[in-house]
Amino acid sequence: MTTLVFQPTRSSTTIGVVVAALMAMGVVMVFSTTASLETPAAARVALRDPAVKQAMFTALALLVVLATSMVPTEFWRLRGGSIWQPAVLLLLASIALCAVVLVPGVGTVRNGARRWLSLGSSAMGLGFQPSELAKLAVVIFLAAYGASRADRMRSFWRGLLPGMMIVGVLAALVGKEDFGTAAMIGAVGVAMLLTAGARWWQMGLCALPGVAGMVGLVLFEPYRMQRLMSFRNIWDDPLGKGYHQVQSLMTIASGGWWGLGLGNGVQKYGYLPEARTDFIFAIICEELGLIGGAAVIGLFLVLVWQGRRAMLNAPDGLRQLIAFGATLTIGMQAAMNIAVVTVSVPTKGISLPLVSAGGSGVIFLGALLGTLVSAAKRPVAVHTRGED
């Protein structure tokens, strides 16, 4: 009797170790950035403290990574003629939640954007971002879709168009309030469909409406145009529209090569907005120096490299597409965040994956990376003696 089991590989083990290291870095830096000159740490209410909550979310995320890494990749494969389709159910749940969050009175507005669904009492301040689930759903579904229709992906009507419609719906729902995440979902979706076998020229035709939609999202939202205009020269208004970018550069520069020391940063005390979320990389550079920042970038590069190895060594299309999509999502989000923090691109609400504060972000990215670990494992046939 032959049984197929999946054994860890060097890639799957390395990915798991790097994920744990980045999450640990995130917890340490969130504790550092939540330091207060007014309220001693001992006087804070533990369950309301952002750093304590982040530590709890990270512990849960590690369990999610472990759990999803044990789920066979075959679980996500589309089953012909069956009602039980986990990848489709995940996608439908994501679309429904991304739509619900836009409903006034249901979605919660934070920092001027309706991206959150509140969980529990307002006193706890717990929330959930459906856009984080969308990142996971688009990778899982398109991997299952591309693997099941490998022989049809070169067909416009039977292969490419249905996949592009799914990507377009998710990007449109997310883009209403979160342009950066929508652009990333669109880019990952397009890349996955091309990897699955879609034709370039057909993709170009399908992408034109999407590009027009993205341009419209920028032109018809005044604050997005302001970000573009202020990015042209942040020093025109350093205390106004350019304040965020100027403070980010000052935070990075003040750390020098070796940093001011863990916990000794100054910019987190109200000078740098969003210090523990979108701009936590700047605080890392301030307290741990350019060496610390380079180490974080190095961890992401190792993660991307091992994800690439998992993709190249994948024994089938489903594992190959999951490895490609998960790796591209993490690598692109990290690159976008670091580009924003270093003022290489206009400001967008993109967090540093696994490091920035945020419960839904670390948990759902943990699920995505756990799925990547599962896809990176090696299938091995084990021969056992059957019972008479």
pLDDT digits (tens, 9 = 90+) for 265-312: 888 888 888 888 899 999 999 999 999 999 999 999 999 999 999 999
Pull the structure tokens for residue 319. 């594992």
6-17 residue pLDDT tens: 788 999 999 999
Structural domains counted in the chain? 1
Strands (E), the chain: 2-7, 107-110, 113-119, 126-128, 378-383
Pull the structure tokens for residue 379. 């299938």
Q: Do 264 and 345 contact (CB within 8 A), yes or no?
A: no
326-380 residue pLDDT tens: 999 999 999 999 999 999 888 877 899 999 988 889 999 999 999 999 999 987 7
Pull the structure tokens for residue 138. 């688009």
pTM: 0.91
Count CA atoms within 13 Å of residue 346 on its CB side.
15
Q: Domain of 45? A: 2-383
Is residue 388 included in any domain, yes or no?
Answer: no
Q: Tally Cβ neighbours within 10 Å of residue 127.
A: 18
Nearest to 129 by CA among 355, 358, 351: 358
- Mean pLDDT value across residues 48-71: 91
> Which residue do the tokens 């597409």 mark?
321
Pull the structure tokens for residue 382. 């084990």
Is residue 331 included in any domain, yes or no?
Answer: yes
Distance CA(14)–CA(18), nearest Å, equals 6
